[in-house]
Amino acid sequence: MAGTDPTDSSTPVSAARVATDPSASVSIPGSSTVDPSNPLKRKDPDLPPWVTRTGGSKDRKPNWEGIPTYQKLDEGALDDDSFWFNDPKKMQMKTYFSRLPEVPSLAETFNLDNLIPVIVKPDPDHGYTYVLTIYGAKEGQEAHFLWNEQDGQMWRFKEKDLKKVVDMVVYETYGGDALERQFRSQLGSWGRIGRAA
């Protein structure tokens, strides 16, 4: 019967077969890159380079090796009387930036690998506001974000230079045209379907 020969590259391959047979190839429509060991993880050519679409295994864990908990700024980057802080003690690290796989984090919610805080403006009445960055991004693929815990929306700065982003936020010299909305992952967190809203 045509199309059932496992050595025939035109044969459709199931995810179960790929999981048990690493030599199997898989084709996912609209996807440019597929990892045969995890066919549900793929790079989507329609998404920005800092977003990875995942799905499937509950056992997938982020690899935090070599990633700092926050982006330390140079001494004097913030004025002494600033309402913004580069202090991890003020950043609610256990709440939003936990590295425990059972605790949801912002990185998981928005499917942004290596997302770490840079500065925070604590405000119990209007919610803490954060400037975040993707740690270790390649040159030209830098991405920095603005997020407020009360409204829950993530905004990506069009500016790629972190120092300029920090200055724009601290001195409030940016407008809506400097930002693009970053949507939540529809696939969930680190491959756990259904967790993200």
- In angstroms, what CA-CA distances link 139 with 49, 81, 113, 118? 12, 32, 16, 18
Confidence label for 165 from pLDDT (cuts 50, 70 and 90) = very high
On whether both 42 and 68 belong to a single domain, the answer is: no
- In angstroms, what CA-CA distances link 26 with 4, 30, 52, 94, 160? 14, 12, 18, 38, 35
On whether both 73 and 169 belong to a single domain, the answer is: yes
Give a yes or no: residue 193 inside a domain. Answer: no
Above 70 in pLDDT, residue 103?
yes
- Tokens representing 87? 């202090």
pLDDT, tens digit, 9 for 90 and up, residues 43-98: 445 445 545 444 434 444 556 666 788 999 999 999 999 999 999 999 999 889 88
Give a yes or no: residue 73 inside a domain. Answer: yes
On whether both 146 and 176 belong to a single domain, the answer is: yes
Give a yes or no: residue 191 inside a domain. Answer: no
- Give me Rg for the CA atoms of the chain: 20
On whether both 105 and 14 belong to a single domain, the answer is: no
- Tokens representing 175? 């407008």
On whether both 16 and 110 belong to a single domain, the answer is: no
On whether both 12 and 100 belong to a single domain, the answer is: no
On whether both 138 and 68 belong to a single domain, the answer is: yes
Domain that holds residue 27: 1-46
On whether both 70 and 134 belong to a single domain, the answer is: yes
Give a yes or no: residue 51 inside a domain. Answer: no
Give a yes or no: residue 68 inside a domain. Answer: yes
Give a yes or no: residue 69 inside a domain. Answer: yes
Q: Please state the domain count of the chain.
A: 2
On whether both 171 and 133 belong to a single domain, the answer is: yes
Give a yes or no: residue 139 inside a domain. Answer: yes
Give a yes or no: residue 19 inside a domain. Answer: yes
pTM of the complete model: 0.63
On whether both 74 and 164 belong to a single domain, the answer is: yes
What would the mean pLDDT of 121-132 be, rounded to a whole number?
A: 94
On whether both 66 and 123 belong to a single domain, the answer is: yes
On whether both 125 and 31 belong to a single domain, the answer is: no
